Amino acid sequence: MTRLSWEKDRVAVLDVFLIANLAFLTVDIWIAHSVNSFARWEEWIPFAFSLISPLLLTAALLRRPPANRLVLAVGSASILVGLAGLLFHLQSQFFGRFTIKSLVYTAPFAAPLAYSGIGFLIMMNRWVSNDRPDWNRWVLFFAAGGFLGNFVLTLCDHAQNGFFYWSEWIPVCAGAAAAGFLISAFLSVRLPDRFKRWCWGVLFVQFVVGIAGFFFHLYGNFLNPMTNWWGKIVYGAPIFAPLLFPNLALLAAIGLWDFPRADADN
C-alpha cells in the first residue's frame, strides 16, 4: 500500500517541487539582475514570470479536474523564457568574440536553462504516466541535465578567479560525478542494488557540498570590505548558487526512490 500511495502521490510531490523552484527563482533573479539595476527591460521578464507562474500553476492544479491546458501553457512559457535567457546572456559577450574567455566572463549563460528544465518537467509530469518506469527515468534525466549545467556554471564561475582556493574544485568534481551516475541510471532499465546505493551516496555528497558551499559563499561575502550588506550580496559570491546541488539531489531522489530494481546484484 505504501508503494501504491507513492505512485499515486509522486506526481503531486513533483508539482510542489517545481512550483517552489519557480517561486524561489524570483529571489535569485532579483539579486542577479540587481548587479546592473535591471538595465535592460527584458531582464524583468524572468522576474515577472517567476512571480506569476507559481500562482497560475497552483490554481490550475487545485482545480478538479486539473486545468491541464493552463499547466502545459505555463510549462511551454517556461521553456521559452529559459531559451531566450540563454541567448540574451550569450549575446552580452560571447556572440561578439567567440572565445573561451568571453564565455567565462559573460553573464552565466547556462543559468536561464533552469526555466527550460522546469518547463520540460512540468510537461513530462502531465504526459508520462506515473505508474511506468519511464516517469522515474525522465526525472533522473532532467536531474542529470541539471547537474551537467551546474558543472558548467561552477567551472566558469570559479575560473573567473583562477580557482584561487583548491576547495573551488570540489563542486566541479561533485557536479560531474552526479551527472555521470544519473545518466548511467537513466540508461538502465533496472538498477542493481549496489549501484543504487552508490547513487544514494552520491546524492548525499551533493547535499554536503551544497550546504558547505552556501556557508563558504556567505562567509566570503561577510569578509567583503563593502559596508553595505545588500552590496555584499549582489556583488559578492552568489550565495544561493551552491544550493542548486541539494535542490537537484532532491529532484534525483524523487526519481530514484522506487526505480525498478534488478533481479540480482551485479
Q: What's the number of domains the chain is made of?
A: 2
Give per-residue burial for 94-119: e unless 16+ CB within 10 Å, then b. Answer: beeeeeeeebbebbbbbbbbbbbbbb
Same domain flag for 114 and 208: no
**pLDDT exceeds 80 at position 99:** no
Residue 248 domain boundaries: 133-266
φ, ψ for residue 210, nearest 5 deg: -65, -45
- Using a pLDDT cut of 70, give the percent of the chain over it: 88
Same domain flag for 111 and 177: no
**pLDDT exceeds 80 at position 261:** no
Separation CA 76–CA 147 (nearest Å) = 22
Give the end of a domain, one of 106, 131, 156. Answer: 131
**pLDDT exceeds 90 at position 132:** no
**Contact in structure between 122 and 54 (CB atoms under 8 Å):** no
Same domain flag for 115 and 148: no
3-state secondary structure of 35: helix
**pLDDT exceeds 60 at position 1:** no
Same domain flag for 157 and 100: no
**pLDDT exceeds 90 at position 94:** no
Q: What is the pLDDT of residue 8?
A: 60
Per-residue pLDDT, averaged over 53-63, amounts to: 92
Same domain flag for 117 and 171: no
- Cβ count within 10 A of residue 82: 22
Same domain flag for 117 and 151: no
Same domain flag for 2 and 124: yes
Per-residue pLDDT, averaged over 228-256, amounts to: 87
Per-residue pLDDT, averaged over 32-59, amounts to: 90
Same domain flag for 119 and 196: no
**Contact in structure between 14 and 125 (CB atoms under 8 Å):** yes
* Length reported for the chain: 266
**pLDDT exceeds 90 at position 159:** no
In the structure grid, which three cell numbers stand for residue 38, read together?
A: 535591471
Same domain flag for 41 and 115: yes
**pLDDT exceeds 70 at position 218:** yes
Same domain flag for 148 and 126: no
Query: For the ranges 37-46, 129-138, 205-214, which has the lowest average pLDDT?
Result: 129-138
Residue type, 143: A
Nearest to 143 by CA among 38, 36, 245: 245
**pLDDT exceeds 60 at position 117:** yes
Same domain flag for 11 and 90: yes
Same domain flag for 119 and 99: yes
* Alpha-helix runs per DSSP H in the chain: 2-33, 44-62, 68-91, 94-97, 100-105, 113-127, 133-159, 169-187, 193-222, 229-235, 244-256
Separation CA 257–CA 124 (nearest Å) = 18
Structure confidence at residue 56 as a pLDDT band (50, 70, 90): very high
Q: Rounded to an integer, what is the distance from CA 259 to the centroid of its chain? A: 21
Give the end of a domain, one of 68, 102, 131. Answer: 131
Give the end of a domain, one of 98, 131, 164. Answer: 131
pTM of the complete model: 0.84
